[in-house]
Amino acid sequence: MANELQTRATVGIALICVAIGSLLSGGVVFWILLSIAGVLMQAEWADLTRASAHGKRMSMFAVCVPLAIMSPWAAGPSFLAVGLALGGFLFALVAARSLMTAAGILYISLPVLALLFLREQLPNMNGLLLAFWALGLVWATDIGAYFAGRSIGGPKLAPSVSPSKTWAGLGGGVACALLFGFLLHISAGLPVRLAAASGILAVAAQGGDLFESWLKRRAGVKDSGTLLPGHGGVLDRLDGVATSAPLAALLVAIPGLL
């Protein structure tokens, strides 16, 4: 148990360092990292949805199209990427003959688009701060949920989907996300409405975690992959980001939502 926790912590810290390094670099470096993650996530998604070998290859090809157009050398994070993601979904639907497999194109493309959008320098807003907030609140949620769930326990959140998750863990995750958001507000000037929204996004992140747990239970596997020791697959690590990042981008793009 101690060795497993040590491995998990070491890999987790390494992943956070890579993410922060790419965030600081921005531009092409950030896009490359997100695109690689996106293709790997689609491969794992195809496995979870029991796609055929042909369907898996075609879905990976399809997700590359919207990811490519998001490059700073191309159109960047724009509405064109949304259109191509929809086109990729329709292509994968025909090629893979599976609605669930094709849905991965949207499930993966939209959070990548959201993070690239947030990282851009927006008028009167710090793109680096916004992207760090969107990623960091998910890390804070995971940490808070893990330790609160382990130390407090109590009623299960969704026992039929994920027996280890508790309501206490959800509360701890929301509390840590809010603490993280308001620390960024005090120290770096994150708008207070976004800091307050961190709790809502923490719930969205936990929802993404539960959704992936449902997919894994449906597929009869423990992890989405084996690439990351102690963590499973890339999808296992970014399931919360997949559901919270698009909402974070909407809150930034449309202030009236909150």
Q: What is the pLDDT along the chain (258 residues), one digit of tens a residue?
A: 556 667 777 877 888 899 889 999 999 999 999 999 999 999 999 999 999 999 999 999 999 999 999 999 999 999 999 999 999 999 999 999 999 999 999 999 999 999 999 998 665 678 999 999 999 999 999 999 989 988 887 889 888 888 888 999 999 999 999 999 999 999 999 999 999 999 999 999 999 999 999 999 999 998 898 887 777 899 999 999 999 999 999 999 988 766
Separation CA 207–CA 109 (nearest Å): 18
Q: Which domain holds residue 98?
A: 2-257
Q: Taking the model in full, what pTM does it have?
A: 0.94
Question: Which stretch of DSSP H or E encloses residue 72?
Answer: none
Structural domain count, the chain: 1
